[in-house]
Amino acid sequence: MSRLRALTGIKPSGTPHLGNYLGALRPALQLQQTHDTFYFIADYHALTTVREPAQLKEHTYDLVAVFAALGMDFDQHTFFRQSDIPEVTEFSWILSCITAKGLLERAHAFKDAQSKQQEVNLGLFCYPVLQAADILLYDSNFVPVGKDQKQHLEMTRDIALRFNHLYGEDVLVVPEPLIGEEVATIPGLDGQKMSKSYNNVIPLFAPAKQVRKSIMRIQTDSLGVEDSKDPDQCNIFQLYRHFTTAEEQATLAERYRAGGMGYGEAKQQLFEAVERELGEAREAYFELREQPETLEGILEKGRDKARRVALEVRKRVRSSIGL
């Protein structure tokens, strides 16, 4: 019995940090165990804001190397670059012709940009249509979504249902949300959500010394070594939970509450836990990052697999609308 397909897109915006890893990358890679997974690098979407061609290309290669280093199975699953599939832009136009302007005006990204008086280009306004094309072009059964992404899939479902109502109930697969275990907000160095915009990130793949230096900068309260501390109120411990077993967490929590341990020691334990999970992958990343031909080869292999599916859906769609 074939597995149902789950699709995820990742915008190329530089080497990810620990928040990206815990919130998106690790859960996405775990889907390989249960689903036929399609992962794509959303470089067309990046064009709404990125204006540096060389930067876009480098960020794309960053993501390929990250997924390869973390254990993506490129033989059994499909990993590709959005812009390598020309059918997606044709499909986006077809979907735009049955999508109401009012639906797009309700999109969170558009409303947020408007409220902040930022530039709203047509790409940003039509972003949900291209996103729908990304999902529907590959007969995706499921799309992993978190709280902040639910609207994206709801709009895709609205577009797919309208298309099927107009042209045939079985033309497009209407995707369902795949709600995984909700990952709590990952705290950055200052306790706010870890984000490049806050300049508070711990890099996913950087030299070990740099990772440790970042972890040692995590802000804490002013309690002394001998004082009892509350692990549930500590940013160090919140990160530690994501890289350790329940037994390890219980042991460290007990040391927090007993006193006699400074935050420096807790930070060192966090670093060692991160290193245990990611140290080997980091070395693989640095090695792969020096091999652009290998990275391009991975994308070409994924392109060919994705296009086979895209061409089947394209044929079905064109026939249904009279082209």
Quick check: 181 and 215 in contact, CB under 8 A? no
- In tens, the pLDDT along 90-144 reads 999 999 999 999 998 888 888 888 888 888 889 889 999 999 999 999 999 999 8
Q: Residue 270 burial by CB count (10 A; 0-12/13-18/19+): exposed, middle or buried?
A: buried
* Count: domains in the chain: 2
Closest by CA to 274, choosing from 10, 13, 12, 26, is: 26
Cα dist. 3→33, 36, 141, 182 in Å? 10, 5, 10, 23
DSSP string, 103-136: HHHT-HHHHHHHHTT----HHHHTHHHHHHHHHH
The answer to whether position 232 is within a domain reads yes
Q: Are residues 62 and 30 in the same domain?
A: yes
Q: Are residues 263 and 129 in the same domain?
A: no
Instruction: List, in sequence order, every residue forming a beta bridge with 176; answer none if it has no partner.
Output: 142
Q: Are residues 39 and 170 in the same domain?
A: yes
- In tens, the pLDDT along 186-236 reads 999 999 999 988 999 999 999 999 999 999 999 999 999 999 999 999 999
Burial 81-105 (b: 16+ CB within 10 A, else e): bbbbbebbebbbebbbeebeeeebe
User: What CATH number is given to the structural domain containing 123?
Assistant: 3.40.50.620
The pTM is what? 0.90
DSSP string, 66-90: HHHHTT--TTTSEEEEGGG-THHHH
Q: Are residues 272 and 317 in the same domain?
A: no
Q: Are residues 161 and 238 in the same domain?
A: no
For 239, the domain range is: 205-286
The answer to whether position 200 is within a domain reads no
How high does pLDDT run on average in the chain?
93
pLDDT at 55 over 60: yes
Q: Are residues 160 and 42 in the same domain?
A: yes
What number of other Cβ atoms are within 10 A of residue 311's Cβ?
Answer: 13
The answer to whether position 199 is within a domain reads no
pLDDT average, residue stretch 239-262:
96
